[in-house]
Structure 1
Amino acid sequence: MANEQITFDKLPQAVGYLTEQMEQIRQMVAALQPQASPDKHRLIEIDEACKITRKAKPTIYTLARKGLIPAYKRGKKLYFYEDELLQWIESGRKQMRAMSLQEQAAEIVHGAKRKPKGGYNF
C-alpha cells in the first residue's frame, strides 16, 4: 500500500494502514529511549560513587571521613545515595558573575604582588 495511488474508496484502508504504521513507530521509539529511573534514591557502594563523582577511592574515603560528602557507614563499608551525590555535586557549583572592565582591572591590580627583595638586577 506504500506506492499505490489512493482513491476516495481506499481512503479508510489507507488511514488504517497509516495508524498501524504510526503505532509501530511509537513502539520502536519507546524501546529505543533510555528508561529514566524515577527512583534515583537508590543505595550505591563506593565503586559506583567513584564513577558518579569521577574521583578516586581514597579521595571519596577522605571526603566521607571529613564529613564533606553525604555518606553512610555500616560496619566497614561506605554507602551513598545516588540522588544525594548528584545534589552534592550540583551544590558545589560556583556562581559566576559578569564583571565590568574596571572591576577586572581592579582585581588584577589588587592581586598583583610586589617584586621580591634581592632579585636580579638588570
Structure 2
Amino acid sequence: MRLDSIYYEEDVNWSLVVVGFETEFAALKDPLFDIERDLAHQTARHWRPMQYGAFTGEVISPSDSYVLKKVALYEAAIGEIGGTISVRRLGRLGAQGQDRRHRATHLRLRSSGLCTV
C-alpha cells in the first residue's frame, strides 16, 4: 500500500495508512477508532481498489468501488464508440495523433494504474 510519495494526508491516501497499520492504531484505544477503521476500509476500497485488494486479498468488483465503476463506464463508452477496437489499438491510434480523445482516456486509465496496456 506504499505510495511513490512520502505524503499520505492528501485526499484519500490517509486511509491506506489506517488500513496498513490497523493493529497499531487499535492498540491506542481511541474510542472513535471503530468509526475511523470502517471509514478507512470503505474509502480505500472505493478510491484505491487495486492497493486495497492486493493488501487484503479481497476481490473488488465495480459495485464495490467508485473508481472501478468509472473504468467500467469508460470501457463501455470506448466499446460503443470504437466497436471492436481494442484498448491496445486505441493507444496506437492516439500515438499517431489520429484519435486524441481516446488516447487521453487511455492515458488517464494507465496513469491511475488501472490499465497496463
TM-score, length of structure 2 as denominator length: 0.26
Instruction: Return the structure number with greater relative CO, CA threshold 8 A, min gap 6.
Output: 1
Which has the larger helix fraction? Answer: 2
